[in-house]
Structure 1
Amino acid sequence: MRQHPTLSTIVALSSALFLASCRGQAEPGAPESAAGTPSAASDTAQIDAYVVAAFEDRAGNLWFGTNGQGVARWDGRTLRYFSIPEGLIDNVVTGIAEDRAGNLWLGTQAGASRYDGTSFTSFGPAEGLPGAGCKLLVDRQGEIWAGTSEGAFRFANERFQAFALPIPELDQVSYKMVPGKVWDLFEDRRGNLWFGRDGYGACRYDGRGLTLFTKADGLCSNNVASIQEDRQGNLWFGSITSDLPQYIGEGGVSLYTGETFTRFPEVRGLAANDIYNIYLDRDGQVWIGAVRVGAYRVDPSTKSGTKGPSFTLFDQTNRPDLTTHFGIQAFVQDRHGTLWFGFSGGLFRFNGSSFVNVTRGGPWSAVEPADTR
């Protein structure tokens, strides 16, 4: 790792949103409302073929980012879609966050939109936010950060401003989509900001300077797609394989204690594989989505023999077509403790042992309320 007390510019190319190689099955021909957004009238239709973001706001509404139908909101009774006709800047929603004022921020392939509960205000290249695949973070100070295929950005005075990240010295840059693309943004318990990048590893900003971490330091690859912290203060990094300039079967999960990195080659799917999402639930369990394998629930405090955390794999769904090629793209746990998973294939709810597909008609809970109409 190397310290960089000053910032340098990043050069990025064009980008596209991650879609897992395992193609999901979606219900075609979903009905549309007059505004052009899908209605919830077709109970068997999927929320979307790809649910790529998931979030619960302070009011308890669940929001699901889709790959072409905007964002879907479930308020406990009604499913509603918001898309371009309602004012959203783009219909591919890749990131969701909520600011201190209660505004919802939606990252897309064309910038970000801020929703105040009534209308949308959008921020694209003209407002300082270029690039695709926008991810968002609101830090503990209330600052809004964005990461796109063009790098990192910070919001101030109704504009985004580039936040330049240093480029590591590498013998060869191998990457998934675009060198320098910011896959993920994360704030740890100490207030450090972390940026997971395509081709350039991870970058930590402590408010004064930046520190780079690469495969040479212990990451499974330099394509860091997800970052999470457990209750013990360890950082979990999910990285992905390289496709350019040629395929390299790297990627996987690495655990950083603040001093050393640990990899888990003995756990199926956590080495030489794509790990796009890592999530910490309210019980302190770490969830890892392993492409083509399933979801691991990890207890960081429980030793498996003498080799570290214990891993429990969940790989069963009520959709046989997805059982052998998982593509988990989003996690969220709601205030009731229910875990929701965005798949390449639709939305799923975890029932404690397997994944239940939730279509527009549900089932939204383990026991659906009686229809009182």
Structure 2
Amino acid sequence: MNINPVKLILMILVSSNLISCNGQVKPEPENAEIIPFEIGKKVTELDNHIWKVYQDTKGDFWFGSNGKGIYHYDGKKLKQFTTSDGLVHNQVRGIQEDTKGNIYMETPIGVSKFDGTKLTILKVIKSPDSKWKNEPTDLWFNGIGDYLYRFDGEWLHDLSLPRQDSLLYSMDPNMPLEEMQYNPYTVYGIDKDRDGNVWFGTINAGAFRFDGKSFLWIGEKELSTLPDGRVPGVRSMIQDKDGYFWLSNFYSKYKINPDLSKGYEKVKAVALPKEIVKDKILYFNSGITDKEGNLWMTTYGGGVWKYDGESLSNQEIHNGIETILLVSIYQDSNGTLWLGTNNDGVYKQNGETFEKFVPKV
């Protein structure tokens, strides 16, 4: 076959250029740094409706809002994550962290996981395979009454509390649950005691304690519908220095006692001075036991309450214009208390008082 000399020269030039170009391509080193895609947007302030405060193991703070997603603050910059970034819902009801440093945000419709780079939605098991267990690494979610999940590190197990034949609520005990105005077993709060037992507070069915094998039920009347028709619900369960449990109210406290038929004993919680409790709702929506063993409790419009083992004191929170509506209380690694509110962002403890927290960005 005869090749035109001009074509031969062109072929040689093209081949030479390809070889030359290929020789200039440098392979990427095996240890090249991969820069993750950053989600969220930088903002300068928190929303007014911050229901939850949480500090992770790195020392960073997370603030869950009631409609504007979640905020992350590392001490220098403030970032906001919403459904646009993959968050399952913009109302954040709870924040937790697992042993690997992943952050979990519970919302009214499900749970999102943040691994430091991206947000994913956890999968739910709705089958008989959803089992009651209590492993040390388990996480529990309730979305403030929207579900009850146990997370084993891979799956969300959809659970229901055991029904009680002698349930003390002001409804027809023979009425099927699906015909009731609301399910009395709806879980309003989840807490763990010093021994690792899980406590579940309900809207109208009292409180349940799960030790990993069996349940103890506390179904006292003050934990159900009140004589005036109010249904305060058991939203927070905290343990005092003497081992008694306070179940969202200042009237009674309980101690586990297997020797008694009910499995617990009930005593008066504390003397209630009239000058302090006048016109106050004596049920708290959030509580903690601080590092000194003091109990701290919040009421929606009644301020912060403290019990030091002997007496109960109250401190109202104002901003000079309005009463601050408190939703939650949290203690960070330094022992400082934080308050989540429904009308004025976040408040931080400063000595004997609480001041509004403004991130420095």
TM-score (norm 1): 0.69
* Structure 2 contact 237–245 (Cα < 8 Å) conserved: yes
Greater length-normalized contact order (CA 8 Å, ≥ 6 residues apart): 1
Partner of 1:281: 290
Partner of 1:183: 188
- Are the structure 2 counterparts of residues 312 and 161 from structure 1 closer, same or farther at C-alpha, using a change threshold of 3 Å? same
* Structure 2 contact 112–120 (Cα < 8 Å) conserved: yes
Q: CA deviation at 1:37?
A: 6.2
Partner of 2:140: 145
Q: Which protein is richer in strand relative to its size? A: 1
Equivalent residue pairs, number: 291
- Are the structure 2 counterparts of residues 177 and 78 from structure 1 closer, same or farther at C-alpha, using a change threshold of 3 Å? farther
Q: CA deviation at 1:198?
A: 0.9
Instruction: Could you tell me which runs of 5 or more consecutive residues in structure 1 were left unpaired when the two chains were aligned.
Output: 1-34, 130-137, 240-251, 301-308, 363-373
Q: Give the AA of the match of 1:147.
A: N
Q: CA deviation at 1:187?
A: 1.5
Compare 55-64 and 271-280 and name the one that shifted more. 271-280
Q: CA deviation at 1:166?
A: 1.9
- Are the structure 2 counterparts of residues 154 and 296 from structure 1 closer, same or farther at C-alpha, using a change threshold of 3 Å? same
- Are the structure 2 counterparts of residues 335 and 222 from structure 1 closer, same or farther at C-alpha, using a change threshold of 3 Å? closer
* CA deviation string 1:242-280 (max 9, x = no partner): xxxxxxxxxx55322332242457254597444210112
- Are the structure 2 counterparts of residues 37 and 58 from structure 1 closer, same or farther at C-alpha, using a change threshold of 3 Å? closer
Partner of 1:167: 163
* Structure 1 contact 341–347 (Cα < 8 Å) conserved: yes
Identity percentage of aligned residues: 26
CA distance in 1, matches of 2:202, 2:89: 23
Q: Which protein is richer in helix relative to its size? A: 2
The counterpart of 2:151, out of the listed 151, 155, 158, is: 155
Q: Give the AA of the match of 1:315.
A: E
Q: CA deviation at 1:321?
A: 2.6
Partner of 2:255: 257
CA distance in 1, matches of 2:73, 2:153: 32
**Higher Rg:** 2
Partner of 1:215: 220
* CA deviation string 1:101-131 (max 9, x = no partner): 111111112200111111112126xx348xx
Instruction: Could you tell me which runs of 5 or more consecutive residues in structure 2 were left unpaired when the two chains were aligned.
Output: 1-37, 127-132, 173-179, 257-264
Partner of 1:40: 43
CA distance in 2, matches of 1:177, 1:322: 33
* Structure 2 contact 136–196 (Cα < 8 Å) conserved: no
Compare 343-352 and 140-149 and name the one that shifted more. 140-149
CA distance in 2, matches of 1:82, 1:112: 14
CA RMSD of aligned residues (A): 3.1
The counterpart of 2:300, out of the listed 287, 291, 302, is: 291
CA distance in 2, matches of 1:154, 1:316: 35
Partner of 2:339: 341
Q: Give the AA of the match of 2:210.
A: Y
- Are the structure 2 counterparts of residues 37 and 179 from structure 1 closer, same or farther at C-alpha, using a change threshold of 3 Å? farther
